[in-house]
Amino acid sequence: MRDEIFKEPIKKQFEFDAAVASVFDDMINRSVPHYDIAQGLIVEFLVKTLKEQACVIDLGCSTASTLLRLYEARNDLNLRGIDNAAAMLENANAKIRAYGANISLELADILECELKSQDAVLMNYTLQFIRPIKRQEFVDKIYESLNENGVFVFSEKMIFEDKTLSKNIIEIYENYKLKQGYSRYEIAQKREALENVLIPYTEAENKELALNAGFKSVECLFRWANFATFIAFK
């Protein structure tokens, strides 16, 4: 379904409810520049580097699109997704059944669930929704859950320290969304709904989260302006 949620006046802060779940795949592909390309790079990197029968967990897996692409490329992997939105997982399960994929899903709060013995942990545009006071502790938990030489792959919307650059990028990003078919009204509505819900960090702050947790290095796999995908190596 096409994302037209914000054509009407908003009545609440943004949340991953049934309405969002029903249009999520369209929403993220039209709202995150080159999302499909970045997702493809993540999948290709993991396919190339993970050992046979490796364990991969996607935290905040939404409709399981990344896990499904991984399964199509490497069906030997042990794939697991966790999300706290029942409507998202309902859609994810429908897609998994349609593909006949072997992917396990769990309805749970990622901050509370048990993580252990993972070879790769994925978080695509999920960390930014965790309250800043809890982020470092959670990334620490992710580090501890990974096996030796494990990887943490995460994508985030970012902010810039330079105010002029930040203003220009905001305008460039708004123009991008206009080209995707969103109106200025829809863009403004969504921005208001996300205020104090999505709290972005700078590139340096995102990398510091991983380095402070103990990861030996953090590299940027893909970037478009204020959107980036990082890989942290244990």
Tokens of 1: 């379904």
pTM: 0.96
Number of DSSP helices (H) and strands (E) in the chain, helices first: 8, 7
Query: Looking at residues 215-225, what average pLDDT do you find?
Result: 97
Identify the pLDDT of residue 187.
Answer: 96
pLDDT recorded at residue 22: 93
Q: Sheet harboring 227-233: ordered strands across?
A: 103-107, 78-83, 55-59, 118-124, 146-157, 227-233, 217-224
- Per-residue pLDDT tens for 78-118? 999 999 999 999 999 999 999 999 999 999 999 999 898 99
Per-residue pLDDT tens digits for 112-141: 998 989 999 999 999 999 999 999 999 999
Phi then psi dihedrals of residue 148, to 5 deg:
-60, 135
Section 146-168 average pLDDT: 97
What is the number of other CB atoms lying within 10 angstroms of the CB of residue 105? 20
